Structure 1
Amino acid sequence: MSATKGKKRREVASYCDWMSQLPAELHNIPLFNLAIPGSHDSMSYDLDINSPIIEPERLKRLSKIYCARKIVRKWALTQEETITQQLDAGVRYFDLRIAKKRNDTDPTRLYFHHGLYTHTDVETVLRVVHDWAESHPREILILALSHFKGFDKKNDQHLHNHLINFIKTLFGPKLFLRGETPTLKKCWDQGRNVIVSYDYPIKRPLEMWTEIIYYYGNSMDSTKVESKLRQQLEKGRPSKQFFVCGLNLTLPDNVKILMYILRLCDNFPNVIRRSLPRLLQWVKEQAGKTPMNIIASDLATRGGFVSMVVELNISKRV
């Protein structure tokens, strides 16, 4: 193959619509076998500094202290751009963690969370995602709903039923049904470009997919993250299902967390920026050795992350 032809096949004019620009030979392979860029804790850009602290557990009692909430937000913020900006940048997998606020006047209103609650409620954000999906029918979006904080025994089933029914009503025929193997062509032909994973042990309708396995390194050390991910990937990927390789760094869940959150002149986004180039280089090298599917990152719109992941689909076939 000539260098010119190879270069031509690698060109993606706009990552806002990158799936529709993939070469034809990729249109019929399962989406489980495509490299898909995703964002970790996708809604953390919207954290409300005035909300109570809901994690980590040891800091909950400090919720009334503004400085404590400020520190939690500084170290819980993993994304800097809105959900629409992430979509426009080419992110196609979203890690959405759901929470119910205690004593909310609206009994079914839900928010997202990561340390704190978000300003914006779940239904508002999902409507934004729906409108974007409507405008980009050939881009397949994967929404992973999980964690469900504040769902107690009294309201648990009611809240899940309400949320699932809202999703089914909002997205309707756009939802790709569980049990079928999604490919780009099949999604396009059926007019279904939204896949929703619902990580909770309830009876799911066909519109809701089961939990998507999420591998991560559970460390603030990028070398340890790489090592843990390599071990998990080399054990063998799940068969015929989505899985996530999470590049995200993870704060300790013990007293060692103080080593980070007490750095007055530092924050989580800065730590991520320092580690991201190395992690992206590792992905390029590892992708040639083990299959990858969804690759999720903090600061997913930065550092050439999306373009690097999309290129994995093309370069291995050129």
Structure 2
Amino acid sequence: MAMSVKKDKRKATSYSDWMSQLPDKLHNIPLYDLAIPGSHDSMSYDLDINSSIIEPDRLKRLSKIYCARKIVRKWATTQEETITKQLDAGVRYFDLRIARKARDRNPTRLYFYHGLYTRTDVETVLKVISDWAERHPKEILILALSNFKGFDKAIGAQLHQHLIGFIVTLFGAKLIHIRDLLTLRSCWDKGRNVIVSYDYPTTQHGEIWSKIPYFYGNTMNTTKLESKLRHILETARPVQYFFVCGLNLTLPEDFRILQYILRLCDNLANVIRRGLPRLLQWVKRQAAKTPVNIVASDLVTSDDFVPTVIELNALKSVSA
């Protein structure tokens, strides 16, 4: 990757092709042994202020009130840059939560969501990702599709069938199969660079992966988050499989949420900015003790998140 040296400190100027520029000895280790930057609620930069509230449940009935939707968006926006800019910045794992709008005239049109629906539909964004993957054939992308709100019994199976069919057709030969040897070198040799993790049974599709475990603290307290993730990494980390260490802060689902959303001069992005530097320091210390794989965060294009995670591979390079 392009580097400049200033005052004896390495500083990256581009991470758009960082995987292809890793040391040769890392090209042949399993992908689940690499440290990979990930994006939590990747599409939340695109939330539609005019959509109905999809979560939390307590606020759904307030969907017609503009001020309520504005508050939800303020506390649900965890990313500030587009998918393309996240990719260019070096992010390689994407948390994509899918939903169907009730009463949508197009029965198979889907959106992303986090509190509100996104403005852009799923197929449009996946095409953008596919185009980027075509231009960067040595960068391995991991797309984690989950949640599937609005996939009720009457139409759920049809929606899954449609979405999976679209994915298989769109990415085609770029899809890494479940049985493929999982190293950078093997993926490059086969010309494959997209993994799709799908949180719904799809045994008939060998190119669609099952859900990747995502561990997070479920708290707004950075100390508690660190403690929980440390316990998981030291006792329950999956072996020989992808796993996500989520640095994201999580708003409470009960009445305690009011202590945050009623702050008129604050928002989730500001809370994240105050806590992320500490969490990144913790990740560096923890990675020296226990292996990490995908590290996901909010605001992935700020606070040195991407370079911090990528540089953890230097530890793996020494031991490889």
**Category of TM-score, reference length = shorter chain:** over 0.9
Aligned to 2:93: 93
Q: Match for residue 195 of structure 1? A: 195
- Per-residue deviation, 1:239: 1.6
Which residue identity lines up with residue 109 of structure 2 in the other structure? Answer: R
Contact 2:300 2:306 in 1 (8 A): yes
- Deviation string 1:283-318 (CA, Å, 9 cap, x unpaired) is 000000111000000001110000010000024434
> How much has 1:13 moved relative to structure 2?
5.7
Q: What amino acid is the match of 1:69?
A: R
Decide which moves more: 173-182 or 55-64.
173-182
Matched, 1:131 2:131: yes
Moved over 2 A (4+): 10-14, 201-204, 315-318
Cα deviation 1:130-175 (Å, max 9, x = unaligned): 0000000000000000000000001011000000000000000000
SS across alignment from 1:209 = coil
Q: Is the 8 A contact 1:111 1:118 kept in 2?
A: yes
> Whole-Å Cα distance in 1 between the matches of residues 258 and 290 of structure 2?
36
Distance in 1, matches of 2:83 and 2:111, equals 14
Alignment of 1:1-318 (within 5 A): 14-318=14-318
Partner of 1:3: none
**Aligned residue type for 2:216:** Y
Q: Which amino acid aligns with 2:152?
A: D
- Sort the Cα spacing of 1:73 and 1:312 in 2 relative to 1 into closer, same or farther, 3 A: same
Amino acid at match of 1:212: I
Partner AA of 1:249 in structure 2: L
- Structure 2: state its 5+ residue gaps: 1-7
SS class of match (2:145): strand
- Which whole-Å CA distance do the structure 2 matches of 1:13 and 1:188 have between them? 24
Instruction: Give the RMSD, CA atoms, in angstroms.
Output: 1.4
For residues 204 and 240 of structure 2, the distance between their equivalents in structure 1, rounded to whole angstroms, comes to 19
**Cα distance between partner residues in 1 of 2:206 and 2:11:** 37
1: distance between equivalents of 2:291 and 2:68? 42
Is the Cα–Cα contact under 8 Å of residues 147 and 199 in structure 1 kept in the other structure?
yes
Q: Is the 8 A contact 1:22 1:314 kept in 2?
A: no
How far apart in 1 are the matches of 2:12 and 2:47?
33
Q: What residue identity is the alignment partner of 2:116?
A: L
Distance in 1 of aligned mates of 2:34 and 2:303: 21
Q: CA deviation at 1:180?
A: 2.4
CA distance 1:74–1:263, shift in 2 (3 Å): same
Whether the aligned pair in 1 keeps the contact of 2:181 and 2:187 (CA below 8 Å) is: no
CA contact (8 A) 1:217 1:224 kept: yes
* TM superposition score normalised by structure 2: 0.95
- The offset of 1:202, in angstroms, is 4.3
Size of the aligned set, in residue pairs, is: 311
Gaps of 5+ in 1: 1-7
**Identical columns (%):** 72
3-state SS in 1 of match to 2:311: helix
Task: Name the SS of the counterpart of 2:50 in structure 1.
Answer: coil
Post-superposition offset of 1:12:
5.5
* TM-score of the superposed pair, with normalisation by structure 1: 0.95
Q: In structure 2, do the counterparts of structure 1 residues 104 and 34 end up closer, same or farther at CA, with 3 Å as the change threshold? A: same
Q: Aligned partners of 2:115, 2:203: CA distance in 1, in Å? A: 29
Secondary structure of the residue aligned to 1:32 is helix
Task: For 1:25, give the aligned amino acid.
Answer: K
Deviation per CA, 1:59-96, whole angstroms, max 9, x where unpaired? Answer: 10000000000000000000000000000000000000
Counterparts of 2:154 and 2:264, CA distance in 1: 41
Which residue identity does 1:199 align to in structure 2? Answer: D
**How far 1:182 sits from its partner (Å)?**
1.2
Distance 2:224 2:233 in 1: 14
Any conservation in 1 of the 2:23–2:317 contact (CA below 8 Å)?
no
Provide the C-alpha distance between the structure 2 equivalents of 1:153 and 1:250, rounded to a whole number of angstroms: 29
Distance in 2 separating the partners of 1:154 and 1:315: 50
SS at match of 2:16: helix
2:287 corresponds to which letter in structure 1?
Answer: A
In structure 2, C-alpha distance between the alignment counterparts of 1:204 and 1:261, rounded to whole Å: 44
